[in-house]
Amino acid sequence: MNLILTRASSPIHWLKIYRLYRLAFPREERKPFSSIREIHCNHRGDVWYCTANGHFVGFASTVRGSDLVLVDYLAVSPAARNGGIGSAILGALRGKYPAHHLFLEIESVWEDVPDRDIRLRRKAFYLRNGFTPMKLMIWLFDVKMEVLGIDCTLDYSQYHDFYYTRLSPWVAEHISEAVHPEA
């Protein structure tokens, strides 16, 4: 597999990313797509158009801080799933940000919800790819999320400050700390 990450630039890139974004993420987890583009265009983060052997296979969007990078969204196209593409994208992201620590949020696996099996598989995927639980649980726009990271730890104050400075004070107002069952 010849995986290539390119900063999204053409209308075709944006269209394919947008379609996959709408397909891969539930409505309550999607921010306005214009916000993702704005972060990219203002160089506070990147939207990566991912191809393998010349075909679009997924995308990742990130938000950069001084030494941290939030993997905001990562999606693999349905036709390319279960072939190691997601792991390859994460590996390539680590290469794109060698001086940064990556972190991300996943829906809490501690809830008794109908899609708990999917949440557990998602968490296992990230754990296999080097992420570790930070024992930090947050409410992000009323969705309970667990924070995972690679070679980093964040407390709630640091996490909140990242959102306040790198995304917006308005977004930070919609974050609150939740009790982590293992803390």
pLDDT digits (tens, 9 = 90+) for 33-44: 999 999 999 999
Domain shared by 26 and 58, yes or no: yes
pLDDT in tens, 48-90: 999 999 999 999 999 999 899 999 999 999 999 888 999 999 9
Count structural domains, the chain. Answer: 2
Q: What is the pLDDT of residue 70?
A: 97
Distance from C-alpha of 71 to C-alpha of 140, rounded to nearest angstrom: 15
Please check whether residues 92 and 3 belong to one and the same domain: yes
For 14: left if phi > 0, alpha if psi spans -120 to 50, otherwise beta; the answer is alpha
DSSP for residue 44: S
Please check whether residues 14 and 78 belong to one and the same domain. Answer: yes
Are 86 and 74 spatial neighbours (Cβ–Cβ below 8 Å)?
A: yes
3-state DSSP helix/strand/coil % of the chain, to nearest 5? 40, 30, 30
Look up the domain containing 67 and give its range.
Answer: 1-98
Prediction pTM value: 0.93
Task: Identify whether residues 57 and 36 lie together within a single domain.
Answer: yes
Beta bridge partners of 5: 50
Give the containing element (helix H, strand E) for 89. Answer: helix 85-96
Per-residue pLDDT of 150-180, as tens digits, reads 989 899 999 999 999 998 899 899 999 988 7
- pLDDT digit string (tens) for 101-136? 999 999 988 888 888 898 899 999 999 999 999 989
Of 72, 98, 124, the domain-final residue: 98
